[in-house]
């Protein structure tokens, strides 16, 4: 897993962008990847652990497949 920081999170739509040293330019993420029951939102600046894969969506090279708050 990789440590990442939540750059921007859209609570209403349930998606956002995470930054880490291994995902230059950011990593696209969807709330369905959050490994916590009932979580739809993350906070900007929150530190998380993530597993990612390429290619991503919406212009990002990486997509989060698992996020651990």
Q: What is the pTM of this model?
A: 0.87
What pLDDT does 20 receive? 95
45 Cα distance to chain centroid: 12
Q: What is the pLDDT of residue 34?
A: 92
- What are the boundaries of each domain within the chain? 2-68
- pLDDT value at position 57? 65
Name the fold adopted by 2-68. Answer: OB fold (Dihydrolipoamide Acetyltransferase, E2P) (2.40.50)
Q: Are 46 and 65 in contact (CB under 8 A)?
A: no
pLDDT, one tens digit for every residue, the chain (69 residues): 899 999 999 988 999 999 999 998 899 999 999 998 777 789 999 999 999 988 766 677 899 999 998
Q: What are the structure tokens assigned to 32, written together?
A: 């369905």
């Amino acid at each position: 897993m990789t440590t990442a920081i939540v750059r921007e999170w859209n609570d209403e739509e349930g998606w956002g962008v995470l930054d880490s040293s291994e995902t230059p330019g950011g990593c696209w993420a969807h709330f369905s990847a959050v490994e916590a029951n009932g979580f739809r939102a993350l906070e900007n600046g929150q530190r998380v652990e993530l597993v990612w894969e390429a290619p991503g969506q919406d212009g990002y090279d990486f997509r989060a497949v698992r996020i651990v708050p």
